[in-house]
Chains A and B, each alone.
Chain A
Amino acid sequence: SQQGEEDPQALSIQEGENATMNCSYKTSINNLQWYRQNSGRGLVHLILIRSNEREKHSGRLRVTLDTSKKSSSLLITASRAADTASYFCATGGRGATNKLIFGTGTLLAVQP
């Protein structure tokens, strides 16, 4: 399977703490994206990092990418209860199809 792995599978933290999620993948990539999914809903695109980038920021989100280790991390700083959701990484390949391969996901619970 080409599916990426994420860890931890589940993470529970207190409001105000930082949350770090990791993603590992298997194939060469064009980019890596992070998505958020609230229970039973569609996905929301959070951030995209290209294969030639090492770090990217967007608001309270910080993403790193290490292509030599085929891994990425998503850091959410100063978490809020509203950040409670599942977070998925997805890799975009080098082909022209733009198709994404999703990781297994991390279920984040932020306790108020």
Chain B
Amino acid sequence: GAVVSQHPSWVICKSGTSVKIECRSLDFQATTMFWYRQFPKQSLMLMATSNEGSKATYEQGVEKDKFLINHASLTLSTLTVTSAHPEDSSFYICSASLGDPRIGQFFGPGTRLTVL
């Protein structure tokens, strides 16, 4: 149980276009979903915390107009990278929480974004 999927697994786009990444909890309802980005050979950096039905909470330094997060249901959160540029190329990973801090988060497989 506790499977999280992401779609697409990889995407290549032209500079200036927008890209939407979906994160789904397949067999449970996630109280909260998180979005991270990871540059090559680096750690995960939390971008934002997403709660169903409310606005996402962004970490310091993350542009909310650049990275749009929508959490329409307890099983789906989307991250849209607007007007993507080459420096946005990264590995984007989502995770889902059951709301109990004693249980670890469940991570999706990640989405590799390459902006040309």
Q: Which residues of A contact B (CB under 8 A)?
A: 3, 30-31, 33, 35, 40-45, 48, 50, 88, 92, 97-105, 107
| Chain A, residue nearest B93 (CB) | A42
A98 and B105 contact, Cβ closer than 8 Å, known pairs A40-B91, A103-B43: yes
Question: Within 8 Å CB of A48, what residues of B?
Answer: 102-104
Interface size class of B (residues with CB under 8 A): 20 to 34
Q: Which residues of B contact A (CB under 8 A)?
A: 4, 6, 32, 34, 36, 41-46, 49, 57, 91, 93, 95, 97, 99, 101-110, 112
Is A40 in contact with B110, judged by CB distance below 8 angstroms?
A: yes
A58 to B7, CA, bound (A): 32
| Chain B, residue nearest A44 (CB) | B107
Interface Cβ pair total, 8 Å cutoff:
62
User: Shortest Cβ distance from A63 into chain B, in angstroms?
Assistant: 12
Interface SS majority for chain B: strand
Report 7 cross-chain contacts, Cβ distance below 8 Å, ordered by A residue.
Answer: A40-B91, A42-B93, A43-B95, A43-B107, A45-B106, A48-B102, A98-B32
Is A50 in contact with B104, judged by CB distance below 8 angstroms?
A: no
A97 and B49 contact, Cβ closer than 8 Å, known pairs A33-B104, A42-B110: yes
A104 to B34, CA, bound (A): 18
Q: A40, A92, A99, A102 — which one has the most chain B CB atoms within 10 A of its CB?
A: A99
Question: Within 8 Å CB of B42, what residues of A?
Answer: 104-105
A23 to B107, CA, bound (A): 21
Is A102 in contact with B43, judged by CB distance below 8 angstroms?
A: yes
Is A31 in contact with B101, judged by CB distance below 8 angstroms?
A: yes
| Chain A, residue nearest B112 (CB) | A40
| Chain A, residue nearest B10 (CB) | A40
Question: Within 8 Å CB of A105, what residues of B?
Answer: 42-43
